[in-house]
Amino acid sequence: MTSDFSRPVFRPSATFDRLFASEDPAEVSRAAHATATTLLARAREDEDPETIERLIAFTASHGIDDIAQLWSRSPAKSLPGALWRMYLMQLSIHDDPHTAALLYERGRHQLSTTDTMVAGAPTPASPAELVALIDTILRGAFAGDFAVALDRTAAFCRVQASGSTHLADDYEQTEPHRSTALTTRALRLASYADDLAIAARLWRRDDLL
């Protein structure tokens, strides 16, 4: 961890100092919720564009391990669980924007829902445009309407899940291993979409803890 992130991200309370040494699930859960709550509150209170941009660029600069240790064991329908899924989606698109664009475009053609409009990608969306989109959505989580950011990420996941499902069908006969991998990805994306949509509803009711 770097000093740039110590104040807005990783020092919300004394509880965090014991996070990595603790094997007590209750202690880890308290630390996860404390860091997520404080991170979001400070980002909104500071209204400092540089702070927001550091949060957006965190995984690109430092990887996912620190965030994983903070939030990956949190319940899906919790604030740290929701933030974890948003960062995972961002990382997956940054790591392989060409596959992300392929899945998104295939899903866009297959879906007859409003998900593509909610997600807000251009049509068709290039790899670079999807990278910019997911960063914009994450930026909205810290500086805009958090529920809207969750809904947009959920919609993005549903479009990509549809694309993964239909590509899996294409490869089922010729490349079954690739078909299986795409099916697994589709199921994971669909699960994230459901979790994030529920998190958005909970946030609007002030029940996302």
Q: How would residue 178 be classed by pLDDT, with cut points 50, 70 and 90?
A: very high
What's the DSSP call for residue 144?
A: S
The confidence band for 23, taking pLDDT boundaries of 50, 70 and 90, is low
Q: Whole-angstrom Cα distance, residue 136 to residue 22? A: 35
Q: What is the mean pLDDT of residues 75-86?
A: 96
- Has residue 25 got a pLDDT over 70? yes
d(CA 31, CA 80): 10
pLDDT band with cut points at 50, 70 and 90 for residue 166: very high
pLDDT value at 13 more than 50: no
Which two three-digit tokens encode residue 204?
């609007």
Q: At 3, which amino acid appears?
A: S
Mean of pLDDT values over 87-100: 95
Confidence (pLDDT) at 16 = 36
Q: Which amino acid is at 139?
A: R
Q: Tens of pLDDT along 29-43?
A: 888 999 999 989 988
The whole-chain average pLDDT of the chain stands at 88
Fill in the amino acid letter for 137: I
Residue 63: its H or E element: none
State residue 6's pLDDT score.
34
Span 55-63, average pLDDT? 87
| pLDDT tens digits for range 113-143 | 999 999 999 999 999 999 999 999 999 999 9
Q: What is the mean pLDDT of residues 167-196?
A: 96
Neighbouring C-beta atoms of residue 45, cutoff 10 Å: 10
The CA distances from residue 89 to 14, 21, 36, 86, in Å, are 29, 28, 17, 5
